[in-house]
Amino acid sequence: MRKYFFLPFFTLTALTLSASHRSEQDNVVTMKRVLQVTITLFAVFVFVSAISLLVGPGGISMLPLLKLLFTGWSEATFSLPSTEKTILFSIRLPRIIFAGIVGACLSMAGVVFQGLLRNPLADPYILGISGGSAVGAIIAIITGISLLPLGIPGIAFSGALLTIILVFGIAGTKKEIHSTTLLLAGVIVNAFFSAAILFLISIASERNLHSAMFWLMGDLSLAEWSDIALTGLFLIIGFITMYIYSRDLNLIVTGEETAMQLGVNVELTKKVLLIAASIVTGVAVSVSGIIGFVGLIIPHMMRMLSGSDHRLLLPSSALFGGSFLIVADTIARTITAPAELPVGVITALCGAPYFIYLLRRKTA
């Protein structure tokens, strides 16, 4: 029974969300509303994390865990057996935090790419960053080389950075970056890297093939505290940068010329936001592989629930994206336990139906 625990808490999350947003749909975005929504979603985030901590294989009985949640941390931790402590705090907790960070990174980047490129189909991978990163990671897996001490993520991130430089080099002139050209450059670079990935996979050995495939579909099981710290740092810096430009992004969404006429330094804003979103994506992909769907769909979900204003959209997408990926990862590691599924499979399987539901509700 334990592995179906996710069902109630996923529904619960969805319900809390719809409830907390719908009632405020008429209002425009104010500081107060941003705080309200952020706090609500942060509570959901903590709640989801706490439940996720309790779910999973490993034979930990629920009772002491619930006690732990309710009686306070320090006292109860001492009474836990050491194996359970290891499972909770060295295996599950880092993974949960990691999933939260990666989900937040991808959703934020998705919001920014969709807004800047004014394209509802844009996602964090649209500029080919995932492809470059994947080529790096697969080379690292196949050859067994690793840039110490960063390992596969280190090489994957170098791939991501090179791709960013390449794509911007193709699309940008000295003065300005054209969104359409950028989009096309991304598509082309992605296509090229796809071919490279297929080539690398076809020459890989059986054993390497499995880890390469897992990486390509997104894998959060390799979470280590050092990765978490690094990714978390990028998340925070990225978020602050994007938030500073969030109102300018609102104006850019209504048209670059309009944004200029309303006083925005469009080229600067675009550059800063594109670079911030690209780097955040690069970091997330390097440590977790290609987790699809999150960065595409979370921004749309939040837009439907709370409107298009990026001052609200950015924090709400980050928090909800984090929560969503935690749920997805909890399902990925429990549903076929002791085996694991790649989390990307779950994000698509859960995300698509919920998204369709939102679309239907909107049109009805």
Partner 1 sequence: MPLITLEHIGFKYEEKWVLRNISFEVNKGEFIGIIGPNGSGKTTLLKVIDGVLIPQEGDVQINGISCNKLKREHLAKMIAVVPQESMMIFPFTVQEIVLMGRAPHLGKWRFEGETDFRIACQAMEMTDTLSLRNRSMNALSGGERQRVLIARALAQQPQIMLLDEPTAFLDIKHEIDFFDMIQLLNKNQDLTVMAVTHDINLASLYCDRIILLREGNIHCMGSPDEVINESHIKEVYETNVAVDKNPATGKPRVTPLSSHPSEGGSRLKSGAAPQL
- Which residues are near partner 1 by CB under 8 A? 25-26, 28-31, 114-115, 118-120, 244, 247-248, 250-251, 253-255, 257-258, 260-265, 303, 307-309, 311
Q: How far is the CB of 245 from partner 1 (least distance, A)?
A: 8
Provide, rounded to whole angstroms, the least separation between the CB of residue 247 and partner 1.
7
**CB under 8 A, 24+ apart: contacts of 224-231:** 224/94, 225/94, 227/98, 227/153, 227/287, 228/94, 228/97, 228/98, 228/101, 230/283, 230/287, 231/98, 231/101, 231/102, 231/105, 231/283, 231/284, 231/287
Residue with smaller CB distance to partner 1, 217 or 296: 296
| Residue 338 DSSP label | T
Rounded to 10°, the helix 310-334/93-116 angle is 140
User: Closer to partner 1 at the Cβ: 124 or 131?
Assistant: 124
Nearest CB to partner 1, comparing residues 246 and 288: 246
In the bound state with partner 1, the residue whose beta carbon lies nearer, of 84 and 176, is 176
Phi, psi of 177 (to 5 degrees): -115, 125
Give me the least distance between CB of 30 and partner 1, in Å please: 6
We find the least distance from the C-beta atom of residue 323 to partner 1, in angstroms, to be: 23
Nearest CB to partner 1, comparing residues 32 and 207: 32
- Contacts of residue 146, defined as CB under 8 A and 6 or more positions apart, other chains included, come to 140, 152, 154, 155
Query: Closest distance between partner 1 and the C-beta of residue 128, in Å?
Result: 22
Nearer CB in complex with partner 1: 147/260: 260
Using the minimum distance from each CB to partner 1, give the nearer residue, 24 or 224: 24
Rounded Cα gap, residues 6 and 11, in angstroms: 9
113, 279, 292 from 216: Cα distances, Å:
21, 19, 10
DSSP 8-state secondary structure symbol assigned to residue 175: S
CB-wise, 117 or 152, nearer to partner 1? 117
Cα distances (Å, whole numbers) of residue 47 to 16, 51, 186, 301, 350: 11, 6, 38, 20, 19
To partner 1, the closest distance from the beta carbon of 258 in angstroms equals: 7
Min. distance of Cβ 84 from partner 1 in angstroms?
A: 47
Closest separation between CB of residue 241 and partner 1, Å? Answer: 12
Q: How far apart are CA 15 and CA 87, in angstroms?
A: 30
Distances (CA, A) of 78 to 58, 65, 68, 71, 180: 19, 12, 10, 12, 58
The structure tokens listed for 7 are: 């069902």
